Amino acid sequence: MARTILPFGPQHPVLPEPLHLKLTIENETVVEALPTLGYVHRGLEKLCEIRDFNQMIQIVERVCGICSCLHALCYCEGVEQIMGVEVPRRAKYLRTIWGELHRMHSHLLWLGLFADAFGFESLFMQFWRIRERIMDIMEATCGNRVVVSVNVIGGVRRDLSPEQCQWIEEQLAISEKELKQLSDTILSDYTVKKRTVGVGVLTKEQAYQLGAAGPTLRGSGWAQDVRQTGYAAFGELGFEPIVEYGCDSYARSAVRFRETLQSIDLVRLAIARMPAGETAADVAGAMEDDTPKPVSAGERRDIMQAYNRDKRHRFVTAPPPNLDLPAGHVAAKVKGKPDGEAVTRVEQPRGELLYYIKGNGSKNMERVRIRTPTFANIPPLLAMLPGCELADVPVIVLSIDPCISCTER
């Protein structure tokens, strides 16, 4: 039978970012898929040679906007490990809270995009509507919606007041109620199941041997999640991973949907158990603090009032009761230079993120190597595609939640 080579991407309606797949097809069936990368490669790892190890936090946050908080967390944990810094417990809980908020907004973004990929527009809008509330929480607590920039070496830059914690819990209760209203649709609807069940099968053995990560791995029956190692405050929250056994696109979407609800519980638990105390530890002495100062209460109020007056934002829900962001122990003083190597891992929304960092006693890191989950999930994707129908390719590609800016850095 004659074979045809079909280019999929780099620009495709289902892809938010450029990825090119060279698909070999027979009739409508995919026989082989080969990837081409390099459309958004920025060489961010190389910047460690000209930016000092504190400035690298801002660089790694920009590897990926969707999970910026977790990139910074992984990097900071590595530097803290090299420099022997003990992070205060409250800071660990705050890192957990913002990390889980990031997971929620990433999963909600993906659930919307996934619904859009198989043409369920109203479901797409519902998920993104819920996501807006999570973005509002991040804006109210960090001053930014996406790149929250809360992690510093030794802890976090900001704190949460009791009023803010209460407000977050109220917002999460609304989000949880709205999410549960969508559970029947995303998990049981005929249209959704017709497009996802049995599509993009990755067997349990394949998932492990091909190095799959995150919901792609857990959707194939593996109970493996880096949060089980207990980084940040996860060791004190009794975390158990969400696992599905369907090994298909439906199972991967079910993992992400259930993880969103689980993240709400984890944030609640973290707020309830968060101890009082410092939010950042001094690191080996003192030096000039060049970290940006938090916006003053007055400035913040003016900005928010101007924001709310703007009619473009008329759908914004009620602002939090206390707009004055309580700053954490901002002056995390860092003296000394990292000298040594460390490997750290955290669980990003898309899966396991690994940082290998090496310091040589100078202000610049010698090497910052980042392995992102999508990088790990491309070989499994190449195994999922052969045998599928051409019309299912967009759904399968999206089922790994590809983040190409992460992958190429």
Shortest spacing between CB 306 and another protein, in angstroms = 42
Q: How many CA atoms lie within 13 A of 33 on its CB side?
A: 26
Is 46 near another protein (CB under 8 A)? yes
Give helix then strand counts, H and E, for the chain.
Answer: 13, 8
CA distances from 330 to 42, 73, 142, 335, 351 (A): 30, 16, 13, 15, 30
Is 229 near another protein (CB under 8 A)? yes
Is 12 near another protein (CB under 8 A)? no
Which run of H or E residues covers position 34?
A: strand 29-36
Is 340 near another protein (CB under 8 A)? yes
Is 18 near another protein (CB under 8 A)? no
What is the end-to-end Cα distance of the chain in Å, rounded? Answer: 40
Shortest spacing between CB 137 and another protein, in angstroms = 30
Shortest spacing between CB 397 and another protein, in angstroms = 16
Is 37 near another protein (CB under 8 A)? yes
| Strand-strand pairing, 29-36 and 20-26 | antiparallel
Is 4 near another protein (CB under 8 A)? no
**Rule CB under 8 A: which of 136-175 touch another protein?**
none
Is 392 near another protein (CB under 8 A)? no
Q: How many CA atoms lie within 13 A of 326 on its CB side?
A: 14
Sheet holding 365-371, edge to edge: 339-348, 351-360, 365-371
Contacts of 344 (CB under 8 A, 6+ apart): 74, 75, 77, 78, 81, 231, 354, 355, 357
Is 310 near another protein (CB under 8 A)? no
CA triple 109-91-257, angle to 5 deg: 25
Q: Tell me which of 33, 94, 138, 210 binds another protein, using CB under 8 A.
A: 210
Shortest spacing between CB 200 and another protein, in angstroms = 17
Is 369 near another protein (CB under 8 A)? yes
Tell me which residues touch another protein (CB under 8 A): 34, 37-38, 41, 43, 45-46, 49, 81-82, 208-211, 224, 226, 228-229, 340-343, 345, 352, 354, 356, 358, 366-367, 369, 371, 375-376, 378-379, 383, 408
